[in-house]
Chain A
Amino acid sequence: MGRTLAEKVWDDHVVRRVEGEPDLLFIDLHLLHEVTSPQAFDGLRLAGRKVRRTDLTIATEDHNTPTLDIDKPIADPVSRTQLETLRKNCAEFGVRLHPLGDVEQGVVHVVGPQLGLTQPGMTVVCGDSHTSTHGAFGALAFGIGTSQVEHVLATQTLPMAPFKTMAVTVEGELPEGVTAKDLILAVIAKIGTGGGQGYVIEYRGSAIRSLSMEARMTICNMSIEAGARAGMIAPDETTFAYLEGREHAPKGEDWDAAVAYWKTLATDEDAVFDHEVFIDASELSPFVTWGTNPGQGAPLSASVPDPADFTDPSERVAAENALKYMGLTAGTPLREVKVDAVFVGSCTNGRIEDLRAAAGVLEGRTVAEGVRMLVVPGSVRVALQAVEEGLDKVFTAAGAEWRHAGCSMCLGMNPDQLAPGERCASTSNRNFEGRQGKGGRTHLVSPQVAAATAVLGHLASPADLSDRVSVEV
């Protein structure tokens, strides 16, 4: 019987397979950041161990870093200590680090791909659940905990429990104005936050094939929000074109050998998935969340749902709690929900195409009065590219704040946070209670919807704007 993409990559990394034990997998790339690594390095020190493969390890600073005044000492002493701890650990153990201020610094999942370090057929891990992002290249990429970070540092391997395979097949063309973000939010709403539990999802079909690498990263990034172990997309010419010429991409003969191998990775025609989900791309529309988990979403054209309509009792209670927390009333059209803040950024939507999309909507328009808009590039490289294209000027001219690279308001570990009760349209990945600041309320949206929302002051898509513009004309 044929094998799926995920099974092929897995099989190629088995160091040891013994009946009754989890497979021991070799890890090709280990990404580190300041938040989930200090206790792992401590563990190494206590046991007198070293980092086995410093040449397969790379660190950056992202979760905790400020996006203003980055040339000044970090005001919060606890944050400062954590960054200093990473710097000391990397120096002591010989790990390559891109600290705040470095041209390669940025959100760890933006940095890996742009350096060309993420490639098809690799195993990639990081102490961060959004490691699934790297699956866009046909890599098997898992988020891991700190104990596993320590394990990979010490051994470059991980014992991994077997997984199940799920195919999410999206056929057809995405309608105008519908993005990868809308697609993945619709997938999560369909299968639920636990629907992917135990599975590696492979996204397939013509709608997926036609996406750019950056859009594919947005899709795979949010696999974890469906509870999946990982998300993957088979490598193709789009993948190869993205990689060719990047700093760490193979060169010369190595490139040819690599591409030949990468072409063998696609799921065999006779392979069987444990579960299959089908989605018609042409039926999708801009999608937003109304609740406090990423599965609580609906088309922008819909209204806030009535908890009484949920048949599952735990979903009903969850919806009741969510509406209470979000300060929403059942039946309110989502387009009438007013926001206080808009955040464009994160490992989900903080790449150059996302910034171009948001800027494209904002160009010649202004952010609504009383709305604060933050634009945070995913990396310094993304920021430099945006400046070269003049996008920063578009944002600031519209009244948005143009910041330095980092995770920022996606999780509010740094000073970029919502105040209690504030409502935000956010291009990030999680609408959990308090995620963007204590008491803050998050609606997950695409960059286009974020920008249109900033202009109108309520949840909106660019189509709502063009109506208005045409009326004015």
Chain B
Amino acid sequence: MEKFTVHTGRAVPLRRSNVDTDQIIPAHWLKKVTRNGFEDGLFEAWRKDEEFVLNRPERQGATVLVAGPDFGTGSSREHAVWALQNYGFKAVISARFADIFRGNSLKNGLLTVILPQETVERLWELTEADPTAEITVDLEALEVRAEGVTAPFEIDGEVRRRLLNGLDDISITLQQDAEIAAYEAKRPSFKPRTQTAA
């Protein structure tokens, strides 16, 4: 996983609540068997509208998405995170994220930042008025900064440590092999098995 420490970039203000993962990446894109190549599917239906914020010339190259509450609801598809990253987003700011989407994003190094809705509104106003305005997402200082805005945010300490160091969950868990084996040894015999162990 790529490290995340501090990122500064221009923003895309997305004034929509309940942006579900079917909107972020429609189902017909999920037939791919790779983690890349999803950028053209990002918000595919909405991008058919020339006026959609992502299509505006002044938003090209923006890397911070500022969205309405309940971002990433619905399907567990991690393709939604890959699509945002493939497109170039490094961070998403919202007042509330769906759990599975948030988990997926943090495991891929896409930083999802929870800020109060009033701060989101200020970031919308700022970046709508001035498309060149930059937002800094600082995971070291646990702070989002923009002109006239300094907003602290919280994140689980262990998740932060893994993001700052680009650590991969699986290799960390595999270090606990003895504990996993000890747990396995005491599982009751009535628990079901799908097949005889290989």
Interaction A to B: yes
Is the C-beta of A471 less than 8 angstroms from some C-beta in chain B? no
- Bound-complex Cα distance A387 to B157 (A): 55
Q: Which residues of A contact B (CB under 8 A)?
A: 15-16, 20-22, 24, 26, 28-29, 35-36, 38-39, 42-43, 47, 49, 52-58, 63-64, 76, 78-79, 81-82, 85, 94, 96, 116-117, 119, 122, 127-129, 143-148, 150-151, 154-157, 159, 161, 193-194, 197-198, 224-225, 227, 229, 248-250, 254-255, 257-258, 261, 293, 314-315, 317-318, 321, 411-413, 430, 432-435, 438
C-beta contact mask, B19-56 vs A, less than 8 Å → 1, else 0? Answer: 01011001110111111000000000100000000000
CB distance from B70 to the nearest CB of A (A): 4
The tally of CB-CB contacts under 8 A between chains A and B is 213
CB-based contact B27/A56 at 8 Å: no
Q: Whole-angstrom distance between the alpha carbons of A432 and B74 in the complex?
A: 9
A155:B20 contact, CB within 8 angstroms: no
Contact with A along B154-198 (1 / 0, CB 8 A): 001110000000000110011010011001100111111111111
Closest CB of chain B to A10's CB: distance in Å?
14
Find out whether the CB atom of B192 lies under 8 angstroms from the CB atom of A314. Answer: no
Q: A55-B197, A63-B30, A147-B107 are in contact. Are A293 and B98 (CB under 8 A)?
A: no
B8 located at the interface, meaning its Cβ lies under 8 Å from any Cβ of chain A in the complex: no
Q: Which chain A positions have C-beta within 8 A of B174?
A: 154-155
Complex contacts, B104 vs chain A, CB 8 Å: 145-148
Q: Does B13 contact A (CB under 8 A)?
A: no
10 closest pairs, A vs B, by CB? Answer: A145-B104, A38-B33, A145-B78, A254-B190, A258-B190, A250-B190, A147-B107, A146-B78, A129-B76, A55-B197
Contact A293:B31 (CB < 8 A) given known A56-B194, A154-B170: no
B119 at interface, CB cutoff 8 A: no
Are the CB atoms of A22 and B158 closer together than 8 Å?
Answer: yes
B73 touches A193 (CB 8 A): yes
Please tell me if B18 contacts chain A, counting CB pairs below 8 Å.
Answer: yes
**For residues 85 through 108 of chain B, which have their beta carbon under 8 Å from a beta carbon of chain A?**
96, 98-100, 103-104, 107-108
Q: Identify B15's interface contact among A94, A146, A148, A317, CB under 8 A.
A: A317
Chain A residues contacting B26 (CB-CB under 8 Å) are 434, 438
Task: State the CA gap A408–B33 with chains docked (Å).
Answer: 20
Residues of the B chain whose Cβ atoms lie less than 8 Å from the Cβ of A249? 192
Q: List, in ascending order, chain A residues with CB within 8 A of B187's CB.
A: 26
Find out whether the CB atom of A257 lies under 8 angstroms from the CB atom of B188: yes
B132 at the interface (CB under 8 A from A): no
| CA distance in complex: A435, B30 (Å) | 13
Our pick among A96, A122, A198, A254 for the contact of B194 (Cβ within 8 Å) is A96
Is B7's CB within 8 Å of the partner chain A?
A: no
With an 8 A cutoff between CB atoms, is B75 at the interface?
yes
CB distance from B18 to the nearest CB of A (A): 5
Q: Please name all residues of chain B whose beta carbon is closer than 8 Å to the beta carbon of A314 when the two chains form the complex.
A: 17, 68-69, 117
* Complex interface: chain B residues within 8 A of A36 (CB): 30, 76-78
B81 at the interface (CB under 8 A from A): yes
B193 shortest CB reach to chain A, Å: 4
In the complex, chain B residues whose CB is within 8 Å of the CB of A143: 76, 100
CB distance from B184 to the nearest CB of A (A): 7
A82 B170 Cβ-Cβ under 8 A: no
Question: Given that A39-B35, A147-B107 are known contacts, is A194 also in contact with B99, CB under 8 Å in the complex?
Answer: no
| A82 close to B20 (CB less than 8 A) | no
Given A151-B169, A293-B73, check contact A229 B99 (CB 8 Å).
Answer: yes
Contact B195 A55 (CB under 8 A): yes
**Closest chain A CB from B99 CB (angstroms):** 6
Q: How far is the CB of A147 from chain B (nearest CB, A)?
A: 4
Binding site for A on B (CB under 8 A): 15-18, 20, 22-23, 26-28, 30-35, 45, 68-70, 73-79, 81, 96, 98-100, 103-104, 107-108, 117, 156-158, 169-170, 173-174, 176, 179-180, 183-184, 187-198
* B176 contacts across to A, CB distance below 8 A: 15-16, 24, 157
Q: Is B73's CB under 8 angstroms from A413's CB?
A: no
Contact indicator B194/A148 (Cβ below 8 Å): no
Contact between chains at A161 and B76 (CB < 8 Å):
no
Chain A residues whose CB sits within 8 angstroms of the CB of B73 once the complex forms: 193-194, 227, 293
Give the complex CA separation of A42 and B34 in angstroms: 8
Residues of A within 8 A of B30 (CB): 35-36, 63, 413
State how many angstroms separate the Cβ of B136 from the closest Cβ of chain A.
26
| Cβ contacts A to B, 24 pairs, < 8 Å | A26-B184, A36-B30, A55-B194, A79-B31, A117-B194, A144-B103, A146-B78, A148-B107, A155-B174, A155-B180, A157-B173, A161-B156, A193-B18, A193-B73, A261-B190, A314-B68, A314-B117, A411-B22, A412-B27, A413-B31, A430-B22, A430-B74, A430-B75, A434-B22
| Chain B minimum-CB-distance residue to A79 | B31
Q: How far is B103's CA from A254's CA once the two chains are assembled, in angstroms?
A: 36
Given known A35-B30, A155-B170, contact A227–B78 (CB-CB < 8 A): no
Which single residue of chain A is at the shortest CB-CB distance from B35? A39
Q: CB distance A39 to B34 under 8 Å? A: yes
Contacts of A156 in B (CB 8 A): 180, 184
Closest to B193 in A: A55
Most buried by B among A145, A150, A255: A145
A414, chain B: closest CB distance, angstroms: 10
